[in-house]
Amino acid sequence: MLQLDSVRQAMAVAVASKWGQSAALLITGPKPLELAELNAVLEGPAKAIAFRQLDELPRLESGKPDYQAAKQLLAD
């Protein structure tokens, strides 16, 4: 996915779906993207059912990814 010029950083989390759990993405980048553009470079189960583009990814005070915040952002 990072081979897309429009994606600088990405975070994947599992979210509930009709199949159990599926991938959803948070991304950062300079221009808006469509889900189809992201899924065109992903394969099989890595294809996302949803994504949200942000200015920066959520992080804990330690600098590690904040997966709980990511799930909440994708639920909104």
pLDDT in tens, 1-33: 667 888 899 999 999 888 789 899 999 999 888
Asked whether the beta carbons of 59 and 66 are under 8 A apart, the reply is yes
* Averaged pLDDT of the chain: 90
Q: Which fold has domain 9-75?
A: GMP Synthetase; Chain A, domain 3 (3.30.300)
For 2-35, letters b (16+ CB in 10 Å) and e give: eeeeebeebbbbebeeeeeeebbbbbebeeebee
Distance CA 40, CA 5 (A): 14
Q: In the chain, what percentage of residues exceed pLDDT 90?
A: 53
Q: Name the token pair of 39.
A: 């899924």
pTM to 2 decimals? 0.82
Q: What is the pLDDT of residue 2?
A: 63
